[in-house]
Structure 1
Amino acid sequence: MPRISKKKQSSSSDSDSGPDDRNAPPPSKKAKESSSNKNDEPAGGGDGATSWTLEGMRQVRINEFRGRKMVDIREFYEKDGKVLPGKKGISLSASQWKKLLAITDDVTRALEE
């Protein structure tokens, strides 16, 4: 009788929940900032406005990646008292951020229809 090999089952879920991430990226120095800010209030670590809370654990942060500043919109999670970035999110370059801002009125109108 032939042997049946077990294949690794792939998940059909599109969810990228933060706490279940096995290989979450290492936390940056800015990831240690508190997520208890009110909406539209920058988090202050004495070095200026670099983080804003959208809702709950969803935040907008300015990060630097390979020497380029990025706008990082991401869902964070708390583990062992530390706020860590999850997989769910997007990083936009300065030009992508400016294009997004340019179309915000159109997006808002489409939402209201």
Structure 2
Amino acid sequence: MPKTKPSKKKSESSDSDSGPEDRGPAKKQKVATGEENLWNIGKNRMVKLSEFKGKWYVNIREYYDAGGELRPGKKGIMLTMEQWQAFKGIIGEVEDAIKKNV
């Protein structure tokens, strides 16, 4: 009979997949030194403009505590410049939908 892998069940109660930084009292944290083009949007979430293989991206990502220093985590999205422009183009529609629904 073939062996099957045990399934890993993700916790549905957490909005973070980056580990123990959500536990315990909040500590004063700093973003890794040398970070340029980085904007804090709250709750350890940052927007960063970065270049990779000659192309520019807008990276919206959740950061985690690594010994008192914030580091980028797995949870987030990296947008190409085309995707960023499309996103900016629908901001008005999103705002209108928020006003109608919230």
Tell me the TM-score normalised to structure 2 length: 0.71
1:67 aligns with 2:19: no
Aligned length: 88
Shift of 1:74: 0.4
One-letter amino acid of the structure 2 residue matched with residue 63 of structure 1: S
Q: Is the 8 A contact 1:70 1:91 kept in 2?
A: yes
Q: Is the 8 A contact 1:61 1:72 kept in 2?
A: yes
Q: Is the 8 A contact 1:19 1:86 kept in 2?
A: no
1:108 aligns with 2:90: no
RMSD of aligned alpha carbons: 2.6
How far, CA to CA, are the matches of 2:51 and 2:32 in structure 1?
15
Corresponding position of 1:37 = none
How far, CA to CA, are the matches of 1:93 and 1:54 in structure 2?
20
Q: What SS does structure 2 have at the residue aligned with 1:110?
A: helix
Gaps of 5+ in 1: 21-30, 34-44
How far, CA to CA, are the matches of 1:12 and 1:78 in structure 2?
21
Q: What SS does structure 2 have at the residue aligned with 1:96?
A: helix
Gaps of 5+ in 2: 21-30
The percentage of counterpart residues that share the same residue type is 31
How far, CA to CA, are the matches of 2:58 and 2:74 in structure 1?
15
Deviations 1:3-35 (A, max 9, x none): x94622222446551136xxxxxxxxxx614xx
1:10 aligns with 2:17: no
Q: Is the 8 A contact 1:19 1:79 kept in 2?
A: no
Deviations 1:51-100 (A, max 9, x none): 10001200000111222110000000111232111111000011110110
How far, CA to CA, are the matches of 2:47 and 2:97 in structure 1?
23
How far, CA to CA, are the matches of 2:38 and 2:93 in structure 1?
26
